[in-house]
Amino acid sequence: MPDERIQRVSMPKWGLSMTTGKIIEWFVSEGDTLAKGDDVVEIDTDKIAGTLESPVSGLVRRLVAEVGDELPIGAVLAVVAPAEVPDADIDTVVEEAKAAAAAGELDVPDEPVPQLVEVDGRQISYLTMTPDEPSGDPVVLVHGFGGDKNSWLFVQQPLAEERTVHALDLPGHGASAKDVGDGTLTMLAETVVGFFDALGIERAHLVGHSLGGAVSAAVAKAAPGRVASLTLLAPAGYTPDADAEYLRGFAAASSRRELKPLLGRLFADPALVTRQLVDDLLRYKRLDGVDKALSVLLPTLLDGDRQAIDTPALLDGVDVPVTVVWGAADAVLPPPDGVGERVQAGHMLHMEAANDVVRVLRSSL
């Protein structure tokens, strides 16, 4: 009979390709009292490091994993239980957890896999996560220029604890068709509306990052009844200012040497740009058709050295709640004064300050 007072904190799965995680730093010690949502441990996924927030509350009885350990998804990292549970029982749980990890018998939930759907003659790839009993309108996550559905690795799963959450690859991106037609904002917004139609989504909360933020605003403008709310993360088109050199450089870069320094500008902490992150982007950029897709999309973002999109104009007359969040240290699309909330991050705030972004989303949805 398992003691239900004993709770386990396990290795999370952040993103499609994560199979193991490496313990970088513990933020708690044995004997500390945890509240749900407290920072517990920093974990490196090979692509990027993230902070695990506690899924449970209680007294930390044992830290099972040590700094430097590389452990599979589902491996028990810490054991939380009230003080009255005897040490011997905790020891038993730890031994069982270690044996399970060694034998590869871990409690890993079924993984959703990306699906394909045809929208306007293009194959669109998307990943859906859904809880057993979804509540309210679903959420659709729209990535930015050069991004893909996997950029939501820290965000999609926590949101999917309550709602159905879809993350799609825009045309020209990820595993979607690389043909982007005329590459206009209208075409991208029509693709998102077509995606709603194809999946039978009546109405959804739209969350867009960067170019995806402007796309989301354009969807709300074009199809007002279909959007329950807009959450725009570092959206394109709020001011004319942009790091045009970054955008053009990203579109043109074909080697690690060109790409790596550019990617550093996306984060407040450039050390987050790992070898794997650069390699994944290079793998994307080498696919047939991506060069052309990015060069066709670039003028949608940029007019000379200035941003070509006017997002406030798109939002004019849009009658749904709009939440805007910026990374305070965004060097690519500098945040305008007095607009929206701030989190401590660069342009990739949903990767760099994922837990803060999730908190904002939980309150705005």
Partner 1 sequence: MARSITYREAINEAIAQEMARDERVIVMGEDNVGGTGAPGEMDAWGGVLGVTKGLWGKFPDRVMDTPISESAFVGAAIGAATGGLRPVVELMFIDFLGVCFDQIFNQAAKFRYMFGGKAVTPVVVRTMWGAGLRAAAQHSQSLLPWVTHVPGLKVAAPSNPYDAKGLLIQAIRDDDPVIFAEHKMLYDVAGEVPEESYTIPFGEANVVREGGDVTIVAIGRMVNTALEAATELASSGVEAEVIDPRTTSPLDLDTIIESVENTGRLVVVDESNPRCSLASDIAGLIAQEAFGALRGPIQMVTGPHTPVPFADSLEDLFIPDAARITGAVKTAVDWKK
What is the C-alpha separation between 281 and 351, in angstroms, rounded? 15
What is the C-alpha separation between 234 and 10, in angstroms, rounded? 31
Smallest gap from Cβ 125 to partner 1, in A, equals 7
Stretch that binds partner 1, among 1-9, 244-252, 285-293, 342-350 (CB under 8 A): 285-293
Of 87, 132, 288, 319, the one binding partner 1 (CB under 8 A) is: 288
What is the C-alpha separation between 305 and 266, in angstroms, rounded? 18
Smallest gap from Cβ 192 to partner 1, in A, equals 21
Smallest gap from Cβ 127 to partner 1, in A, equals 11
Smallest gap from Cβ 121 to partner 1, in A, equals 17
Q: Is position 67 an interface residue for partner 1 (rule: CB under 8 A)?
A: no
Shorter beta-carbon distance to partner 1: residue 125 or 191 = 125
Shorter beta-carbon distance to partner 1: residue 283 or 306 = 283
Mask for 6-45, x = binds partner 1 (CB under 8 A): -----------x----------------------------
Smallest gap from Cβ 67 to partner 1, in A, equals 15
Q: Do residues 345 and 333 make contact, with C-beta atoms less than 8 angstroms apart?
A: no
What is the C-alpha separation between 301 and 241, in angstroms, rounded? 11
- Residue given tokens 């996306």 in the structure block: 266
Q: Is position 114 an interface residue for partner 1 (rule: CB under 8 A)?
A: yes
Shorter beta-carbon distance to partner 1: residue 169 or 330 = 169
Shorter beta-carbon distance to partner 1: residue 149 or 205 = 149
Of 5, 286, 306, 362, the one binding partner 1 (CB under 8 A) is: 286
CA distances from residue 356 to 43, 133, 362, 363 in whole angstroms, order as listed: 17, 25, 10, 11
Smallest gap from Cβ 178 to partner 1, in A, equals 8
Mask for 177-196, x = binds partner 1 (CB under 8 A): -x------------------
For residue 141, give the amino acid letter: L
Q: Is position 175 an interface residue for partner 1 (rule: CB under 8 A)?
A: yes
Smallest gap from Cβ 54 to partner 1, in A, equals 30
Contacting partner 1 within 255-274 (CB under 8 A):
255-257
What is the C-alpha separation between 55 and 126, in angstroms, rounded? 27
What is the C-alpha separation between 172 and 124, in angstroms, rounded? 10
Of 283, 313, 316, 321, the one binding partner 1 (CB under 8 A) is: 283
Of 287, 303, 306, 336, the one binding partner 1 (CB under 8 A) is: 287
Which one, of 262, 251, 216, lies nearest residue 236 by Cα? 216
Of 7, 45, 54, 125, the one binding partner 1 (CB under 8 A) is: 125
CA distances from residue 49 to 60, 213, 234, 327 in whole angstroms, order as listed: 23, 24, 21, 17
Q: Is 197 exposed, middle or buried (0-12, 13-18, 19+ CB in 10 A)?
A: middle
Spell 69-92 as b/e; 16+ CB within 10 A means b: eebbbbbbbbbbbeeebeeeebee
Neighbouring residues of 118: CB distance < 8 A, sequence distance ≥ 6: 124, 198
CA distances from residue 220 to 187, 217, 318, 338 in whole angstroms, order as listed: 14, 5, 7, 23
Q: Do residues 268 and 349 make contact, with C-beta atoms less than 8 angstroms apart?
A: no
Stretch that binds partner 1, among 4-12, 207-215, 248-256, 353-361 (CB under 8 A): 248-256
Q: Which two tokens stand for residue 105?
A: 């018998």
Shorter beta-carbon distance to partner 1: residue 36 or 275 = 275
Stretch that binds partner 1, among 136-144, 280-288, 294-302, 316-324 (CB under 8 A): 280-288
For residue 36, give the amino acid letter: K
Smallest gap from Cβ 129 to partner 1, in A, equals 17
Q: What is residue 108's three-state secondary structure?
A: coil
Binding site for partner 1 (CB under 8 A): 17, 114, 125, 175, 178, 254-257, 275, 279, 283, 286-288
